[in-house]
């Protein structure tokens, strides 16, 4: 709080500075990407609704058919809970797309239970409550924001106790579920623009690199995901070429299989 007070003067002064006129920033028209030696390593994984929003603009999607409300088994292994938590948060975004208030509320409770299972329940309780309240009011923008906050708070809490790898598994679980639904939608009504949304090679490489550093998580599901990403990579990493309907179908088969493995006991 002392630091806060000290900074208050400079914040107020800074805000006065906003009276200055904005100017168009001059930037070089071209940079040599290969010479950008100082690249930030941190990766912000896109939220499922970032992809769903783009998909929605290509045509009406029947999101209700993708809402999942199965009860998951109780896992004891923390990596499995982390993967499942990411998947369930992604399910929350799907339920929001479908504007399915009961499903959103149910997912809010499941997220809380899973967060407790990996010891970060305290930081999630207010978000779970906010999700349920916003779903009651059908305030979908707030539900989306709270789901984002939930994922962020889970990951912050894990990072604080140096569980960064579990935090990455939460992101991975969400990405896999998002990709499963994306490919399912595009497979039903194929378009080149829809298939192009799968063009995420750097993200795939990011997850592969992170999984390679998780040798301590010697679980079948982790190995299955590693093998699956090897299968997926050549289907979506095709440079400037178009991703074919056949590739979309294959990625859907792979991610659906993994999705089932994530929610079921070995």
Partner 1 sequence: MNPFAKVLLCTTSLLAAIVVLPSAIFASVDPTTVYARAFALLAAEPYVEKGFHVREDYWAGDLASGERKAVRQQLFKGNEYWFWLGTEVDHAKVSVHIYNSDGKLAEQPDSWAKGHLAAAHIIPKTTGSYFIIVSVEESPAARTHWALAYGFR
The answer to whether 258 and 119 have CB atoms below 8 angstroms apart is no
**Among 39, 76, 215, 218, which residue interacts with partner 1 (rule: CB under 8 A)?**
39
Per CB under 8 A, 11 contacts partner 1: yes
Q: What is the Cα Rg of the chain in Å?
A: 20
Per CB under 8 A, 241 contacts partner 1: no
Please state, as a whole number, how many other Cβ atoms lie within 10 Å of the Cβ of residue 71: 8
First to last CA, the chain: 50
Give the DSSP H or E segment for 10.
Answer: helix 2-17
Per CB under 8 A, 71 contacts partner 1: no
Burial of 169 from C-beta contacts in 10 A (0-12 / 13-18 / 19+): buried
Write down the least CB distance from residue 201 to partner 1, Å. 8
**Beta carbon nearer to partner 1, 110 or 127:** 127
**Among 5, 40, 60, 212, which residue interacts with partner 1 (rule: CB under 8 A)?**
40
Per CB under 8 A, 118 contacts partner 1: no
CA angle 222, 110, 163 (to 5 degrees): 45
Q: Residues, the chain, total?
A: 266
Per CB under 8 A, 209 contacts partner 1: no
| Binding stretches for partner 1 (CB under 8 A) | 3-4, 7, 10-25, 27-33, 36, 38-40, 42-47, 49-51, 53-55, 57-58, 123, 141, 144-145, 148-149, 151-153, 155-157, 159-160, 193, 196-203
């Amino acid at each position: 709080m002392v630091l806060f007070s000290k900074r208050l003067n400079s914040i107020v002064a800074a805000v006065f500075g906003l009276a200055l006129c904005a100017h168009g920033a001059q930037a070089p028209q071209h940079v040599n990407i290969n010479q950008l030696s100082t690249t930030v390593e941190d990766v912000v994984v896109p939220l499922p609704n970032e992809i769903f929003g783009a998909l929605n603009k290509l045509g009406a999607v029947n999101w209700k058919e993708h809402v999942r409300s199965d009860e998951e088994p109780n896992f004891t292994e923390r990596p499995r809970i982390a993967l499942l938590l990411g998947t369930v948060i992604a399910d929350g975004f799907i339920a929001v797309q479908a504007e399915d208030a009961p499903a959103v509320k149910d997912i809010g409770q499941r997220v809380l239970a899973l967060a407790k299972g990996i010891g970060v329940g305290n930081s999630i309780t207010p978000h779970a409550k906010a999700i349920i309240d916003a779903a009651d009011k059908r305030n979908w923008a707030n539900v989306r924001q709270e789901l984002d906050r939930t994922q962020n708070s889970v990951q912050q809490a894990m990072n604080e106790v140096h569980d960064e790898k579990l935090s990455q598994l939460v992101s991975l679980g969400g990405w896999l579920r998002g990709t499963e639904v994306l490919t399912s939608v595009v497979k039903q009504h194929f378009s080149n623009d829809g298939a192009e949304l799968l063009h995420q090679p750097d993200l795939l490489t990011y997850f592969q690199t992170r999984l390679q550093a998780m040798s301590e998580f010697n679980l079948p599901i982790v190995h299955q995901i590693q093998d699956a990403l090897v299968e997926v990579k050549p289907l979506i990493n095709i440079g400037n070429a178009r991703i074919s309907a056949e590739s979309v179908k294959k990625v859907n088969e792979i991610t659906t299989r993994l999705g089932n493995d994530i929610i079921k006991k070995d």
